[in-house]
């Protein structure tokens, strides 16, 4: 034995004894070798208890060697990289590894939570539906939340790097055991573009624990030769890669874990591959099933194949005195492997009465006692297995001292991905397993995943699959299994180790009249733990079948869902984190705003200034100063994100008449009109102005959030419904940058900056459009106003916005020009009572709620018209937009409701600011029947209590529009 590793064999195994690795487990330091997993290193060091079970806090040891491990969930790493609930069997050992068990304190060996085991008879399946309710669930909530769950999530941001890859292959082979390697070789040989995906770090699959002669070579040599051939053929080989999802049209999700010992700054920890395959070959193997007997969860009780795996691949001995307990021939190979490794096999206990003679003679040759028609009905030992109680065929009961039980209840083909692909299963009585039947997608199973266990047969079939030929006829060879779904016994017989579900729980759910396996699963939580029932599902439904008087085939399986194994959340995010989480657009004038110290916010996907604070200003101060400055002198605002769509064609006007609630086709050349767009329910979806540029050309402007949405909306109508209209829609939002110059000095500033356009009041009235030159640049100018002041929206080519900005600022310097952000912009429009779609409106607001009743007089049909005539939209007391003013001039809280005499809501505040110009708060809101209630006083409920507010006209500032039309 190796020094310090009392259970390590001196020779053998795919480990490198020249490279010892130190690691820390539960605070103690141990040594393992390169090639170990954390699990095999713990076994070699004689660590028996690796964790505590989820519900009962029972001591648990390793049960398996692969992804199906249920007990050894560990907290891996420390600090920000600490990852919870990783299976120790999947952790490749590296120097300096730190891990600890989850769900126990202070350690797995001595766990304070173990006292729960004393109350275990009350903690049956579904106990939480019947308890912790009186007097109030919340009394128990804190304690239960603290005790629930397994590992801990690191509170710091994950510093590791996660990547995405996308790829296409003709053939994807999942699993690199003998069947998978053969299929990949065959596919490559006929010239396909192939990917071979293997979850382990080594190729070989079952050959790593049970060698065989293939093509005259022993396992290792054959694997090496296969690898060389595949590499030479250009096959993409991905190891440490789990295929976790199979979606429509052969889309696969593969999670590639990079060598954990070497990941660090800049090197990715995981890669998520999204792969599209021409066809998929699933060589995913089969997972062994435990036997369900009392005390089958004690540390030392393991799956027989896993015991072999540790002995042969890792040269680690899980115990020195083993008992083999099985209902099939395969487990007997474990007895031989253990004997060869120098362990004592105290007995082979087989539930079958008639045993294959060659198995019996092989055991006789090694002087290993065999008990046919017998069963282990009980085990002894709390933190380590000490003995097994065996009931013999005669009925006699003996206790046999042992420190390990290698159990096998049969094998379940790993058909999870096949199931995700939509594949249907068939119950094979000879194998006592569900095997793949048909699949609507191009997926085939090979090897033990297909229920083929004879080597020659599965290799021939894998070759056929690789070449794209139909499946070969299966050999009728099994391993003599006789199902023994439940062994009798008085104590807890575990079915799902990870969620602590016992055979008694399954019987309970049958007694409580649950019939469907889907209900069984959710009532008992069987199969719902991170291992998703890999070792428990089939045992459970077979027991359920028994309890409800049905066959296993009739009972069926639960549905298989993505992902096959747990995946880190960060792998879904990939590179889209932090600054890359969402694409953010910058306006053409961004550098100018930045240079002026603008505070930016993400509004509708654009970084936009909410204000340009000066020294010592709060956000409110900046807002008030800028708003006042606009009404006093002039403000400069970038409006580039607002949507601009050119609608061109002979039928452009007629088309827009159908889209807008108001009429557009009669708009004169060079004139502008404000409009509302509705959906077919009559709800306002966007607003904006439309400009007639030419006889057959209109420029539609949308809200900045509507730029893409409305362009798509117009296309949908033209392509799907009104396909004969002669119209083209050209989105030009990003081609033009727009600066709005607004305020009483706006005209003077434009004159100072120089323009070819006659901007006198008479020649260029409000709501009209001109083309010409401004500051030496070709421009479109729309005289529209969102602020209620004299306003020019100047549009130039996007790239010229900074130059235009500089020119206007320079020309306006002595005329009180001020850059204006969105905060102040919103104050100005609220003072005027202008609509803010999405602020004052919601998913129920129609034109009839905002004072646009006249649209019903429009002669022609438009989108949403018919809905406006439905009774619920015509009610006299419907919500209507009004102005609101507090008696004391204070700012009203947005969202506060106005109450009627009965205390019911009759409306709410939608917009609210303090007006620097008026010196009091201005607000807008929706009020039942508001249009006829101007002047009334209503009660408003705020967080502070009840207040009185006056219903006012929408426009609080310059209602006559003198400044607007100046």
Partner 1 sequence: MLLIKCPWCGPRDEHEFRCGGQSHIARPGPPEAVSDEEWSRYMFERINPRGVHYERWVHAFGCRRWFNIARSTADHTIFAVYRMTDAAPQLDGSGESGQ
3-state SS assignment for residue 909: strand
Interface with partner 1 (CB under 8 A), residue from 156, 680, 887, 900? 680
- Number of residues lying near partner 1 (CB under 8 A): 25
Structural tokens at position 449: 């995943």
Which among 508-516, 830-838, 863-871, 946-954 is the span making contact with partner 1, rule CB under 8 A? Answer: 863-871
Taking the C-alpha atoms of residue 785 and residue 791, their distance in angstroms, rounded to an integer, is 5
Distance CA 421, CA 279 (A): 12
Joined tokens for residue 428: 């094979």
Q: Which residues contact 870 (CB under 8 A, 6 or more apart)?
A: 682
The site string for partner 1 over 198-237 (x = CB under 8 A, - otherwise) reads ----------------------------------------
Strand partners, 8: 316
Work out how close the CB of 847 gets to partner 1 at its nearest, in angstroms, rounded to a whole number: 15
CB burial class (10 A; 0-12, 13-18, 19+) of residue 580?
exposed
Shorter beta-carbon distance to partner 1: residue 266 or 871 = 871
Establish if 681 lies at the interface with partner 1 (CB under 8 A). yes
Give the interface segment with partner 1, choosing from 170-178, 248-256, 834-842, 882-890 (CB under 8 A).
248-256
Q: Identify which of residues 252 and 881 has a Cβ nearer to partner 1 in the complex.
A: 252
Map 641-680 to HEC letters: CCEEEEEECCCHHHHHHHHECCCCCCCCCCEEEEEEEECC
Distance CA 465, CA 459 (A): 10
For the chain, give percent helix, strand, coil, nearest 5: 30, 30, 40
Taking residues 150 to 189 in sequence order and writing x for each that binds partner 1 by CB under 8 A, - otherwise, the string is ----------------------------------------
Shortest CB 469 distance to partner 1, Å:
24
Pick the piece of the chain touching partner 1 (CB under 8 A) from 97-105, 246-254, 510-518, 812-820.
Answer: 246-254
Contact flags string 327-366 toward partner 1, x per CB under 8 A: ----------------------------------------
CA triple 564-568-572, angle to 5 deg: 90
Q: Specify whether the CB–CB gap between 651 and 727 falls below 8 A.
A: yes
Output the smallest distance, CB 172 to partner 1, in A.
14
Q: Candidates 470-478, 541-549, 640-648, 866-874 — which segment interacts with partner 1 by CB under 8 A?
A: 866-874
Burial 53-74 (b: 16+ CB within 10 A, else e): bbbbbbbbbbbbbbbbbbbbbb
Binding test (CB under 8 A) with partner 1, winner from 358, 554, 716, 900: 716
Q: Looking at 11, 232, 249, 668, which residue binds partner 1 (CB under 8 A)? A: 249
Q: Tell me: does residue 721 bind partner 1 (CB under 8 A).
A: yes
CA–CA distance, 288 with 881 (Å, rounded to integer) = 69
CB atoms under 10 Å from CB of 482, counted, come to 13
Nearest approach, Cβ of 717 to partner 1 (angstroms)? 9
Residue from 136, 578, 719, 962 binding partner 1 (CB under 8 A): 719
Give 865 or 941: the residue with its C-beta nearer to partner 1.
865
| In the complex, minimum distance from the CB of residue 862 to partner 1, in angstroms, rounded to a whole number | 9
Beta bridge partners of 819: 636
Q: Which is nearer to partner 1, 116 or 251 (CB)?
A: 251
CB-based contact 951:882 (threshold 8 Å): yes
Q: Tell me which of 118, 157, 712, 728 binds partner 1, using CB under 8 A.
A: 712
Position 815 contacts partner 1 (CB under 8 A): no
- Residue 139 or residue 732: which is nearer to partner 1 going by CB? 732
Min separation Cβ 276 and partner 1, Å:
7
Each residue 390-429 as x (binds partner 1 by CB under 8 A) or -, in order, gives --------------------------------x-------
276 binds partner 1 (CB under 8 A): yes
State whether the Cα torsion 252-253-257-258 is positive or negative: positive
Residue 265 or 723: which CB sits closer to partner 1? 723
Q: 449: how many CB neighbours lie within 10 A of its CB?
A: 30
251 versus 934: smaller Cβ distance to partner 1? 251
* Residue 846 CB partners (closer than 8 Å, separation 6+): 678, 682, 683, 684, 864, 867, 868, 873
Strand partners, 899: 905, 939
Rounded to whole angstroms, how far apart are CA atoms 839 and 923?
12
Stretch that binds partner 1, among 198-206, 208-216, 599-607, 858-866 (CB under 8 A): 858-866
Nearest distance in Å: CB 190, partner 1: 23
Decide if residue 865 touches partner 1 (CB under 8 A). Answer: yes
CB 119 within 8 A of CB 56: no
Minimum CB separation of residue 236 from partner 1 in Å reads: 20
Q: Which of 668, 720, 901, 960 binds partner 1 (CB under 8 A)?
A: 720
Q: With respect to partner 1, which residue has the nearer C-beta, 869 or 875?
A: 869
Among 132, 247, 572, 674, binds partner 1 (CB under 8 A): 247
Measured from the CB atom, is 249 or 901 closer to partner 1?
Answer: 249
Q: Which CB sits closer to partner 1, 813 or 872?
A: 872
Query: Interface with partner 1 includes 859 (CB under 8 A)?
Result: no
**Piece in contact with partner 1 (CB under 8 A), picked from 13-21, 592-600, 644-652, 862-870:** 862-870
Q: What is the number of other CB atoms lying within 10 angstroms of the CB of residue 691?
A: 23
* Closest distance to partner 1 from the beta carbon of 879 (Å): 21
Q: Is 585 in the site for partner 1 (CB under 8 A)?
A: no
Q: Which two tokens stand for residue 512?
A: 């409580």
Q: Which of 2, 867, 939, 942 binds partner 1 (CB under 8 A)?
A: 867
Checking phi first, is residue 489 left (phi over 0); if not, alpha (psi -120 to 50) or beta? left
Query: Closest distance between partner 1 and the C-beta of residue 866, in Å?
Result: 4
Q: Is 440 in the site for partner 1 (CB under 8 A)?
A: yes
Q: Are strands 879-886 and 236-238 parallel, antiparallel or unpaired?
A: unpaired
Residue 711 CB, nearest approach to partner 1 (Å): 9
Residue ranges with strand state E in 133-175: 161-174
Separation of alpha carbons 132 and 528, rounded Å: 22
* β-bridge partners, 397: 391
Nearer to partner 1, 159 or 843 (CB): 843
Half-sphere exposure of 500 (CA within 13 A, CB side): 20
Task: Report the distance separating Cα 289 and Cα 101, nearest Å.
Answer: 24
We find the least distance from the C-beta atom of residue 728 to partner 1, in angstroms, to be 12
- Closer Cβ to partner 1, 490 or 719, answer by number: 719
869 scored as a contact of partner 1 (CB under 8 A):
yes
- Least distance to partner 1 from the beta carbon of 681, Å? 6
User: For 832-865, b where at least 16 C-beta lie within 10 A, e where not — what string?
Assistant: bbbbbbbebbeeebbbbbbebeebeeeeeebbbb
Question: Distance from CA of residue 115 to its chain's centroid?
Answer: 37
726 binds partner 1 (CB under 8 A): no
List residues near partner 1 by CB under 8 A.
Answer: 247-251, 274, 276, 422, 440, 680-681, 712, 715-716, 719-721, 723, 861, 865-867, 869-871
């Amino acid at each position: 034995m190796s020094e310090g590793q009392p259970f390590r064999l001196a020779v053998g195994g795919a480990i490198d004894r020249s490279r010892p690795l130190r690691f820390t487990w539960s605070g103690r330091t141990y040594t393992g070798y390169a090639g170990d997993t954390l699990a095999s290193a713990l076994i070699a060091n004689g660590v028996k208890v690796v964790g505590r079970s989820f519900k009962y806090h029972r001591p648990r040891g390793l049960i398996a060697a692969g992804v199906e491990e249920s007990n050894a969930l560990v907290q891996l790493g420390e600090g920000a990289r600490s990852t919870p609930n990783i299976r120790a069997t999947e952790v490749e050992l590296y120097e300096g590894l730190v891990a600890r068990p989850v769900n126990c304190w202070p350690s797995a060996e001595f766990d304070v939570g173990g006292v729960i085991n004393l109350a275990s008879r009350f903690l049956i399946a579904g106990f939480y539906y019947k308890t912790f309710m009186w007097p109030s669930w919340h009394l128990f909530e804190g304690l239960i939340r603290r005790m629930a769950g397994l590992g801990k999530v690191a509170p710091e941001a994950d510093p590791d790097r996660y990547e995405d890859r996308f790829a296409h292959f003709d053939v994807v082979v999942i699993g690199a055991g003998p069947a998978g390697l053969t299929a990949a070789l065959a596919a490559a040989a006929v010239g396909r573009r192939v990917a071979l995906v293997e979850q382990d770090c080594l190729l070989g699959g079952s050959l790593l624990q049970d060698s065989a002669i293939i093509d005259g070579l022993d396992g290792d040599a054959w694997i090496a030769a296969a690898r060389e051939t595949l590499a030479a053929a250009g096959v993409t080989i991905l190891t440490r890669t789990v295929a976790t999802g199979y979606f429509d049209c052969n889309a696969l999700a593969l999670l590639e874990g990079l060598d954990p010992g070497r990941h660090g700054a800049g090197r990715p920890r995981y890669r998520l591959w999204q792969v599209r395959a021409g066809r998929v070959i699933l060589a995913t193997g089969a997972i062994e099933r435990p036997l369900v007997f009392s005390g089958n969860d004690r540390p030392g009780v393991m799956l027989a194949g896993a015991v072999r795996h540790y002995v042969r691949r890792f040269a680690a001995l899980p115990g020195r005195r083993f008992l083999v307990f099985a209902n099939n021939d395969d487990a007997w190979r474990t007895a031989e492997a253990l004997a060869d490794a120098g362990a004592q096999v105290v007995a082979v206990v087989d539930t079958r009465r008639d045993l294959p003679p060659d198995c019996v003679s092989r055991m006789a040759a090694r002087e290993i006692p065999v008990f046919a028609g017998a069963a282990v009905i009980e085990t002894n030992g709390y933190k380590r297995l000490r003995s097994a109680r065996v009931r013999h065929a005669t009925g006699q009961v003996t206790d046999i001292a042992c420190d390990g039980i290698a159990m096998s209840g049969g094998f379940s083909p790993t058909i999870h991905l096949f199931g995700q692909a939509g594949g249907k299963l068939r119950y094979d009585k000879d194998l006592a397993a569900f095997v793949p039947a048909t699949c609507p997608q191009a997926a085939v199973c090979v090897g033990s995943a297909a229920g083929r266990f004879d080597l020659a047969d599965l290799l021939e079939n894998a070759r056929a699959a690789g070449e794209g030929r139909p499946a070969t006829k299966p050999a009728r060879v099994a391993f003599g299994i006789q199902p023994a779904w439940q062994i009798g016994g008085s104590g807890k017989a575990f079915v799902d180790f990870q969620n602590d579900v016992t055979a008694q729980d399954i019987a309970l759910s049958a007694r409580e009249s649950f019939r469907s396996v889907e209900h069984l699963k959710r009532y008992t939580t069987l199969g719902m733990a991170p291992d998703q029932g890999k070792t428990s599902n089939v045992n459970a439904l077979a027991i359920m079948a028994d309890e409800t008087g049905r066959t296993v085939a009739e009972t069926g399986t639960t549905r298989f869902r993505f992902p096959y194994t747990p995946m880190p959340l960060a792998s879904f995010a990939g590179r889209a984190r932090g600054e890359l989480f969402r694409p953010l657009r910058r306006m053409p004038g961004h550098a100018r705003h930045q240079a002026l110290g603008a505070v930016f916010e993400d509004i509708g996907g654009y970084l936009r200034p909410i204000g340009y604070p000066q020294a010592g200003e709060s956000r409110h101060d900046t807002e008030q100063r800028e708003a006042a400055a606009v009404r006093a002198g002039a403000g400069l605002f970038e409006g580039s994100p607002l949507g601009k769509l050119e609608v061109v064609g002979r039928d452009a006007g007629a088309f827009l008449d159908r889209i807008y609630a108001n009429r557009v086709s009669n708009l004169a050349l060079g004139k502008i009109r404000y409009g509302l767009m509705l959906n077919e329910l009559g709800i306002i979806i966007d607003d904006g102005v439309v400009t007639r540029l030419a006889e057959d050309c209109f420029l539609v402007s949308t809200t900045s959030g509507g730029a893409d949405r409305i362009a798509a909306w117009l296309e949908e109508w033209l392509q799907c419904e009104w396909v004969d209209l002669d119209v083209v829609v050209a989105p030009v939002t990003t081609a033009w940058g727009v600066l709005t110059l607004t305020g009483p000095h706006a005209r003077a500033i434009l004159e100072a900056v120089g323009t070819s356009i006659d901007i006198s009041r008479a020649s260029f009235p409000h709501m009209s459009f001109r083309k010409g030159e401004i500051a030496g640049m070709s421009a479109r100018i729309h005289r529209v106003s969102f602020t209620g002041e004299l306003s020019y929206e100047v549009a130039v080519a996007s790239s010229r916005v900074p130059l235009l900005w500089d020119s206007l600022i320079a020309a306006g310097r002595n005329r009180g020009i001020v850059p204006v952000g969105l905060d102040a912009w919103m104050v100005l429009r609220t003072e005027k009572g202008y609509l803010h779609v999405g602020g004052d409106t919601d998913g129920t607001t129609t034109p009839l709620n905002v004072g646009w009743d006249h649209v019903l007089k429009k002669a022609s049909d438009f989108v949403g018209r018919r809905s406006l005539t439905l009774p619920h939209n015509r009610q006299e007391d419907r919500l209507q937009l009004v102005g609101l003013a507090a008696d004391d001039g204070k700012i009203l809280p947005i969202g506060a409701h106005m109450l009627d005499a009965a205390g019911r809501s009759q409306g709410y505040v939608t917009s609210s600011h303090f007006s620097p110009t008026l010196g009091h708060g201005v607000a807008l809101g929706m009020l039942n029947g508001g249009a006829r209630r101007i002047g009334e006083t209503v009660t408003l409920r705020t967080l502070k209590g009840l207040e009185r507010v006056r219903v006012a006209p929408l426009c609080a500032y310059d209602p006559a529009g003198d400044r607007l039309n100046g």
